[in-house]
Structure 1
Amino acid sequence: MKIFTAEQIYKADKFTIAKQQIPSDALMERAATQLFEWMHSRLQGAEVTIQLFCGIGNNGGDGIALARLLKEAGYNIKVHVVNYSEKRSKDFLLNLERLKDRKIWPEFLNDDCVMPEIAPNDIVVDAIFGIGLNRAPSEWVGKLILHINASQAFVLAVDIPSGLPGNRIPWNTDHVIRASYVLSFQVPKLVFFLPETGVYQNQWELLDIGLDAEFMHTEETEYEFLVKPDVLPIYRPRLKFSHKGTYGHALIVGGSYGKIGAVQMAGNACLTVGSGLVTAYVPECGYHSLQTALPEAMVLTDEEDEYISKIEVPFHPDAIGIGMGLGTHEKSVKAFGEFLKNNDAPMVIDADGLNILAKHPEFVKHVPKQSVLTPHPKELERLVGEWKDDFDKLEKAKAFSKENQCILVIKGAHSLILSDGKGYVNSTGNPGMATAGSGDVLTGMITGLMAQGYLPLQAAVFGVYLHGLAGDIGASKMSYDALKATGIIENIGNAYMELFKRPEAEVVPES
């Protein structure tokens, strides 16, 4: 699912109006109708006061048109026009006249107005500012937003929470609507998914307002939101006449004294996601625990007991996952650097592997092209440097990815995959996955997919989505609080089943 910028959405509006030969207010009417139907299907005529706060641009026009439809359906409404400028869009003015024609008189709010009373059991519709906001709200509008946020009412934002710009962090974090729910038109907005801007809505949902399908399909975007239809085509079905060698031999390298579990989880996830063979390379201290905990894997050990001092394997792996629990002993650092120079297999680098790269940037040039790096925010900062905000972080990360021809998986609430200047935002996952070992599991899954022949970007996209889905299924069984990384592994199979669930009546042909 594509994520459009504000400029692209305006372009889509104009294209749709021209191609469908409709006036611009007809598109506004579609938007208002979709908003009304969403609300009406849930309220069913309930006796509740709906207070609509409408700006004087097109977002406000949507709110004014919605007010008319709500009133015609018998709802008790109060309409407030937030009069923050002398400029008004023509479609706002048109809908304002339609409202007045029905003897509905809005209250105009100005910089010297008394704040309207809002009861906690009211519903507030926020239609003050839209996606085109390009400067900080006036101080008095900011105070109105603070007043709405303090009301404890359910706040439904139209398209985007007011005060939140579409392409940067807010100017004043207090002057942004804290929306209970956002009804966004046609496509999601990037700000929904970033830590500094995603906090302004609890939930969001898309409304289809009939923007031209051909334009939506052909327009190139910088970011995409990964949902099931985007991920399904990546899947490579297993063949009837195949064997373990068909699905690759993965190598998992890492571990040190007290941190062998990281390798065990990565290796287990690698096998569970479908890798045909997995060999773990660990220090001597990990031999017995790995052979016991993960009997399906083969184990090679270093000559050192507590850390890795060299990495020598007697086969050429199809994919390598490296770094989890590795530590930063000077001999381990040297071994990692030498291994990079002599290896050409695709890699997934995590944890201490990333920390070593950050401390030894000269190693980066030896990382095989299109390798996948999976940093959490602090590891990313060590790699790319400090950033001033989430948008600056994305620009720095994209530059690093492009310069080093690697794929970055930035782990978070919405893990984000960056490759060759394009970003993919994940839709699965939950707060229960913020637990020790979750990243080791992800590394193992991506490595296992790459070993099976998935291209690195495909493995990253599919692996991140499946990892989050397994976490969602696990959390649904045991809660966010009780979910462990091993619980994610236990639900990889269930995630596959959920992803490829078919209607009961459909017969699946034999491969």
Structure 2
Amino acid sequence: MKIFTASQIYEADKFTINKQQITSDALMERAATKLFDWMHSRLQGAQVKIHLFCGIGNNGGDGVALARHLHEHGYDIAVYVVNYSEKRSKDFLINLDRLKERKLWPEFLDSDCSLPEITPNDIIVDAIFGIGLNRAPDAWVANLIKHLNSSSAFVLSVDIPSGLPSNRSPWDGEHVVRASYVLSFQVPKLVFFLPETGVYQNQWEILDIGLDSEFLVKTDTDYELIGRPEIMPMYRPRLKFSHKGTYGHSVIIGGSYGKIGAVQLASNACLSAGSGLVTAFVPECGYHSLQTSIPEIMVLTDDADDSISEIDIPFVPTAIGVGMGMGTKDETIKAFGSFLKKVETSIVIDADGLNILAKQPNLLKDVPKQSVLTPHPKELERLIGKWKDDFDKLEKAKSFSMKNDCIIVIKGAHSITVYKDKGFVNTTGNPGMATAGSGDVLTGMITGLMAQGYAPLQAAIFGVYLHGLAGDVGVSTAGYEALKASGIIENIGNAYMELLRPPNKENEEKV
């Protein structure tokens, strides 16, 4: 699913109005009807007080039109016009007149008004600002937003939480509505998925308001949301007439004294993701533990006992994952640099492999093109430098990817895979996966997918999705606190099985 910018959404509105020969007011009525249907199907006429806070732009117009539908169906409502400007949109005024025709008079709020009383049992509809917000709310509006947030009432935001810009971090986090639920028109917004801005809503759902499909299909976007519909065309089921060699031979390189477990996790995950063969390359100290813990893999060792000092693989692997638990000793850095000069195919680099690249950026020129880098936030910062906000982080990651022709997996609650100027936002995963070794598992899974013939970008996108899905399945029995990296591995098979189940369309539109 594409993630459109605010300007692209405005263009989609215009395109739809022209092609379908409708008025902008008619499109607003569609949106309001969808909002009402969503609320009515859940409230079923319940006698609860609904407070609608409406701005004076098109977002406010949606709220005023919604108020009319709620009033006509007998709901107990109070409508407030947040009068933050002398300018009013045409469609807002049309719907305001319709409300007045029904003898329903909104209360106009300005800087001199007292704040409305709201109880925790009430419902708030937030339709103050939309996706076009380009400046910080005025002080009195910010104070109103803080009042709404402190009410403990259920807050339903129309399209986007008010006070949250769609293309940058907020000016002041206290001046953004904390939405219990966001009903997003037609497409999700990028701010729903970033750490700094995603905290302003608990859940979101898409409402299809009939924006023209031709525009939606043909318009290119910088970001794409990756869910089941996007993953299934990538999935390559196994062939009946195949053997272990059909699915590649992976090599997992890493480990040092006390950190062999990272290689164990990555190797096990690589096998479970489907690699036909897996060989671990570790220092001598890891030999016995790997041979006994994973009998299905083969083990090669460096002559050094406690860290890697030379990487010598006596065959040509199909895919390579490197860096986990490897350390950054001088001899290991030298060995890694020599290895990069020899390897010819795309590889997966994690953990200390990334730290070495950050220490010696001259090595980046030797990293094979379209290699996959899987940094956690601190490793990413070492690579691309500090960022001022999440949007700046994404731009820096894109620039780094363009310059070095590499794929970067920005790990987080919604991991984003970046390749050059495009980002792919993941929808699986949960807080239980914030645990030691989870990243090693991801590296192993991506390596295992590349071994099976998935292109590096596809392997990264699919691997991130499958990794999160395995965590989602695992947390259903372990709980957030008790989920371990090994538990994610144990559920990779269940994640594959989940892909084969009939899709639940309702859940695809709800996060």
- Where does residue 399 of structure 2 map in the other structure? 399
- Where does residue 102 of structure 2 map in the other structure? 102
In 2, Cα distance between the equivalents of 1:350 and 1:410? Answer: 12
Q: What letter matches 1:153 in structure 2?
A: A
1:290-334, CA deviations, whole angstroms, 9 ceiling, x for partnerless residues?
001111000000101111100001100111000000011111111
Q: Which runs of 5+ in 2 are unaligned?
A: 504-511
- Once the two structures are TM-superposed, the CA of residue 174 in structure 1 deviates from its matched residue by 1.0
Q: What letter matches 1:30 in structure 2?
A: R
- Where does residue 73 of structure 1 map in the other structure? 73
- In structure 2, the residue corresponding to 1:409 is in which secondary structure? strand
- Once the two structures are TM-superposed, the CA of residue 502 in structure 1 deviates from its matched residue by 4.1
- Where does residue 62 of structure 2 map in the other structure? 62
Mean CA deviation greater in 166-175 or 434-443: 166-175
Q: Contact 1:318/1:346 (CA < 8 Å) preserved in 2? A: no
In 1, Cα distance between the equivalents of 2:220 and 2:61? Answer: 29
In 2, Cα distance between the equivalents of 1:230 and 1:217? Answer: 14
- Once the two structures are TM-superposed, the CA of residue 501 in structure 1 deviates from its matched residue by 1.6
1:21-57, CA deviations, whole angstroms, 9 ceiling, x for partnerless residues?
0111111111011111111111111110000000000
Matches within 5 A, 1:230-249: 230-249=230-249
In 2, Cα distance between the equivalents of 1:93 and 1:494? Answer: 54
- Where does residue 348 of structure 2 map in the other structure? 348
Q: Contact 1:156/1:182 (CA < 8 Å) preserved in 2? A: yes
1:60-97, CA deviations, whole angstroms, 9 ceiling, x for partnerless residues?
00000000000111100000000000100000000000
Q: What letter matches 2:109 in structure 1?
A: L
What is the alpha-carbon root mean square deviation over aligned residues? 0.7
- Where does residue 26 of structure 2 map in the other structure? 26
Task: Report the TM-score when normalising by structure 2.
Answer: 0.98
- Where does residue 137 of structure 1 map in the other structure? 137
- Where does residue 483 of structure 1 map in the other structure? 483
In 2, Cα distance between the equivalents of 1:304 and 1:231? Answer: 42
The answer to whether structure 1 residue 444 and structure 2 residue 444 are counterparts is: yes
In 1, Cα distance between the equivalents of 2:90 and 2:432? Answer: 48
- In structure 1, the residue corresponding to 2:476 is in which secondary structure? helix
Q: What letter matches 1:182 in structure 2?
A: V
- Once the two structures are TM-superposed, the CA of residue 340 in structure 1 deviates from its matched residue by 0.3
Q: What letter matches 2:276 in structure 1?
A: G
- Where does residue 287 of structure 2 map in the other structure? 287
- Where does residue 367 of structure 1 map in the other structure? 367
Q: What letter matches 1:263 in structure 2?
A: V
- Where does residue 506 of structure 2 map in the other structure? none
In 2, Cα distance between the equivalents of 1:222 and 1:364? Answer: 25
In 2, Cα distance between the equivalents of 1:43 and 1:109? Answer: 27
- Where does residue 304 of structure 1 map in the other structure? 304
In 2, Cα distance between the equivalents of 1:473 and 1:34? Answer: 32
Aligned length: 503
In 1, Cα distance between the equivalents of 2:142 and 2:420? Answer: 39
Change in CA separation of 1:126 and 1:440 when aligned onto 2, cut-off 3 Å: same
- Once the two structures are TM-superposed, the CA of residue 492 in structure 1 deviates from its matched residue by 0.5
In 2, Cα distance between the equivalents of 1:379 and 1:369? Answer: 20
In 2, Cα distance between the equivalents of 1:46 and 1:502? Answer: 34
1:153-182, CA deviations, whole angstroms, 9 ceiling, x for partnerless residues?
110000000000000011111110011110
In 2, Cα distance between the equivalents of 1:240 and 1:498? Answer: 21
Matches within 5 A, 1:8-47: 8-47=8-47
- Where does residue 254 of structure 2 map in the other structure? 254
1:260-290, CA deviations, whole angstroms, 9 ceiling, x for partnerless residues?
1100110000000100000000011111110
1:439-468, CA deviations, whole angstroms, 9 ceiling, x for partnerless residues?
000000000000111000000000000000
Q: What letter matches 1:34 in structure 2?
A: K
In 1, Cα distance between the equivalents of 2:151 and 2:316? Answer: 63
Q: What letter matches 1:253 in structure 2?
A: I
- Where does residue 326 of structure 1 map in the other structure? 326
- Where does residue 414 of structure 2 map in the other structure? 414
- Once the two structures are TM-superposed, the CA of residue 478 in structure 1 deviates from its matched residue by 1.2
- Once the two structures are TM-superposed, the CA of residue 242 in structure 1 deviates from its matched residue by 0.7
- Once the two structures are TM-superposed, the CA of residue 420 in structure 1 deviates from its matched residue by 1.9
Q: Provide runs of 4+ in structure 1 moved above 2 Å.
A: none
Q: Contact 1:317/1:345 (CA < 8 Å) preserved in 2? A: no
In 2, Cα distance between the equivalents of 1:323 and 1:313? Answer: 15
The answer to whether structure 1 residue 7 and structure 2 residue 7 are counterparts is: yes
- In structure 1, the residue corresponding to 2:180 is in which secondary structure? strand
In 2, Cα distance between the equivalents of 1:500 and 1:353? Answer: 35
State, as a whole percentage, how many aligned pairs show the same letter: 76
Q: What letter matches 1:210 in structure 2?
A: G
In 1, Cα distance between the equivalents of 2:346 and 2:486? Answer: 25
Task: Report the TM-score when normalising by structure 1.
Answer: 0.98
Q: Contact 1:398/1:418 (CA < 8 Å) preserved in 2? A: yes
- Where does residue 205 of structure 2 map in the other structure? 205
In 1, Cα distance between the equivalents of 2:471 and 2:217? Answer: 31
Q: What letter matches 2:250 in structure 1?
A: A
In 1, Cα distance between the equivalents of 2:210 and 2:477? Answer: 38
Q: What letter matches 1:170 in structure 2?
A: P
Q: Contact 1:36/1:66 (CA < 8 Å) preserved in 2? A: yes
- Where does residue 174 of structure 2 map in the other structure? 174
The answer to whether structure 1 residue 125 and structure 2 residue 122 are counterparts is: no
In 2, Cα distance between the equivalents of 1:502 and 1:26? Answer: 36
Q: What letter matches 1:437 in structure 2?
A: G
- Once the two structures are TM-superposed, the CA of residue 345 in structure 1 deviates from its matched residue by 2.4
Change in CA separation of 1:502 and 1:93 when aligned onto 2, cut-off 3 Å: closer
- In structure 2, the residue corresponding to 1:299 is in which secondary structure? strand
Q: What letter matches 1:487 in structure 2?
A: G
- Where does residue 424 of structure 1 map in the other structure? 424
Q: What letter matches 1:66 in structure 2?
A: L
Q: Which runs of 5+ in 1 are unaligned?
A: 504-511
- Once the two structures are TM-superposed, the CA of residue 376 in structure 1 deviates from its matched residue by 0.8
In 2, Cα distance between the equivalents of 1:258 and 1:101? Answer: 76
In 2, Cα distance between the equivalents of 1:485 and 1:345? Answer: 28
- Where does residue 459 of structure 2 map in the other structure? 459
- Where does residue 509 of structure 1 map in the other structure? none
In 1, Cα distance between the equivalents of 2:364 and 2:326? Answer: 17
Q: Contact 1:125/1:155 (CA < 8 Å) preserved in 2? A: yes
1:189-238, CA deviations, whole angstroms, 9 ceiling, x for partnerless residues?
00011111111011111100000011111110000010101011011121
In 2, Cα distance between the equivalents of 1:393 and 1:54? Answer: 33
In 2, Cα distance between the equivalents of 1:369 and 1:430? Answer: 31
Q: What letter matches 1:416 in structure 2?
A: I
- In structure 1, the residue corresponding to 2:171 is in which secondary structure? coil
In 1, Cα distance between the equivalents of 2:35 and 2:498? Answer: 31
- In structure 2, the residue corresponding to 1:340 is in which secondary structure? helix
- In structure 2, the residue corresponding to 1:459 is in which secondary structure? helix
In 2, Cα distance between the equivalents of 1:276 and 1:162? Answer: 51
- Where does residue 161 of structure 2 map in the other structure? 161
1:99-131, CA deviations, whole angstroms, 9 ceiling, x for partnerless residues?
011110000001111111111110000000000
- In structure 2, the residue corresponding to 1:156 is in which secondary structure? strand
- Where does residue 507 of structure 2 map in the other structure? none
In 1, Cα distance between the equivalents of 2:417 and 2:235? Answer: 18
Q: What letter matches 2:31 in structure 1?
A: A
